Chain A
Amino acid sequence: MDLRLNLVWNARRPLLEGTLVTLEVAILALGVALVLGLPIALLRMSRFKVISLPAFLYIQFFRGTSLYVLILWVFFGLSIAIGLNLPSFEAAVICLGLLNSAYMAEVYRTGLNTVGFGQWEAARSLGIGELPIFRLVVLPQALRVVIPSAANLFVDMLKDAAIVGVVGVWDLMKQADRLTKFHFRPFEFYTASAAVYFVLVFFFSRVVGLIEKRFSRHVQTRGG
């Protein structure tokens, strides 16, 4: 086996640029998911079926599809159908973001549910209004559960984002593809890509660990 690692080294610039693009997509998509997930979760938790049902369907829809199916449909299908001409980067961010907003909604829902009803009652009994209760009492406690889960979700999103090259985003894999076709050395470049992913996942998993540790202080499971 004749290994030409120097080729990889020489191509470090485009590979690095691709990695940055991958990270950009994942981070922006995370933003979308975090922002969209909360209102969806709140709608889902509503007492009124009229409000909770669409939210439920939204969640089921996006949890039932894969990024690949969604992104092809949005980028190729929708663009012909309704003339939506999304550039590939934006399409990737939106699809990855929408998809994971459904998962985040479930995470938010779990987090909010873990805050015991007694917390609401105690705050109400002091005369505090509903919105301040949510902001100052419930949400801080919910976030203790939400943030570690969200961090874990991010690592998964990073892995999922590997396919965005199929719609033309110049991410790590697309750069690796191009280099492979140029040099006819798929092994070296795909191995390099795998190595980059290992580093990224390892790094962010450590971050997740630290986050989890920091957020499990002062948390009790019962009334408090």
Chain B
Amino acid sequence: MEFDWRMITDNWQNFLNATLITYYVAALSMAVAMGVGLVLALLRASRNPIVQAPARIYVGFFRSLPLYVFLLWLYYGFKVAFNLSFQAIQAAVLSLGLISGAYMSEIFRSGLLAVDRGQYEAGFSIGLTMGQLYRKVVLPQVFRTVIPATANQFVGILKGATIVGIIGVFDLMYFARNATARTFKPFEFYSTAGIIFISSTLVFAALAGYLETRYRWRRA
């Protein structure tokens, strides 16, 4: 078995671009997930069961839905049924983001619950409104607590993002598949793609670990 290194060296630029696209999709999805997750967590923090209900339904729904199914449904199914078509990248970010949002909401929720009752009492006693309290006191603390779990979730998103090539997003795996079809050298391309990918996740996982230790003692 000879490894054709030229495949790699000739294509390093393509690999780079494709990898960046993968990161880009993951980053956008993360942003969506955080936004969605925060809203959901705030909804669930309410005492009112009517306000909680949509959030709980959302989380239960999207945690039961495989990413691949949702992706295909959004990209192919949606357009036929509702006459609304998504570009591949939009479908990718939307599906990844909405599903991860369900998981992020759980992370935010436990972060919210971890904030001591006493913080609220102290805030009210100096005259803050609920909104000010959340913005200035509660949420900053929540962010500190959830950062490690969020970093971990990002690794999960990165792994999910590997399949978006199936609907045509020009990401790392799409490039690998394409190049394989052209050159009939699957081992070279898939191995390189694999190594790039695993290195990325390891780096981010290590980052998550570092963040976990860093933010552990910062909590009052």
Q: Which A residues form the contact surface with B (CB < 8 A)?
A: 1, 3, 60-61, 63-66, 68-70, 72-73, 76-82, 158-160, 162-163, 166, 173, 177, 180, 184-191, 193-194, 197-198, 201-202, 205
B72 at the interface (CB under 8 A from A): yes
A178 to chain B, nearest CB (A): 13
B35 at the interface (CB under 8 A from A): no
A101 to chain B, nearest CB (A): 16
- Chain B binding site: helix, strand, loop or mixed by DSSP? helix
Check B163–A68 contact: CB distance below 8 A: yes
Known: A63-B201, A186-B77, A190-B73. 6 other contacts (CB 8 A): A65-B159, A65-B197, A66-B163, A81-B187, A162-B67, A163-B163
B102 at the interface (CB under 8 A from A): no
Task: For B185, give the chain A residue with the smallest CB separation.
Answer: A80
Q: Which B residues form the contact surface with A (CB < 8 A)?
A: 1, 61, 63-70, 72-73, 76-78, 80-82, 159-160, 162-163, 166, 173, 176-177, 180, 184-187, 189-191, 193-194, 197-198, 201-202, 205
Contacts of A184 in B (CB 8 A): 80
Contacts of B177 in A (CB 8 A): 72
Contacts of A202 in B (CB 8 A): 64
Contacts of A66 in B (CB 8 A): 159-160, 162-163, 197
Interface centre among B63, B69, B163, B185 (most CB of A within 10 A): B69
- A sample of 28 cross-chain residue pairs with beta-carbon separation below 8 angstroms, ordered by A number, consists of A65-B197, A66-B160, A66-B162, A73-B191, A76-B186, A77-B186, A80-B184, A81-B1, A81-B187, A159-B66, A162-B67, A162-B69, A163-B68, A163-B163, A163-B166, A173-B69, A173-B72, A185-B80, A186-B73, A187-B78, A187-B81, A191-B73, A191-B77, A193-B73, A198-B64, A201-B64, A202-B64, A205-B64
With A69-B173, A69-B197 already in contact, the answer to whether A197 and B66 are too (CB < 8 A) is: yes
Check B64–A197 contact: CB distance below 8 A: yes
Task: For A62, give the chain B residue with the smallest CB separation.
Answer: B198
Check A160–B77 contact: CB distance below 8 A: no
Check B202–A60 contact: CB distance below 8 A: yes
A223 to chain B, nearest CB (A): 27
Check A194–B81 contact: CB distance below 8 A: no
Contacts of B61 in A (CB 8 A): 198
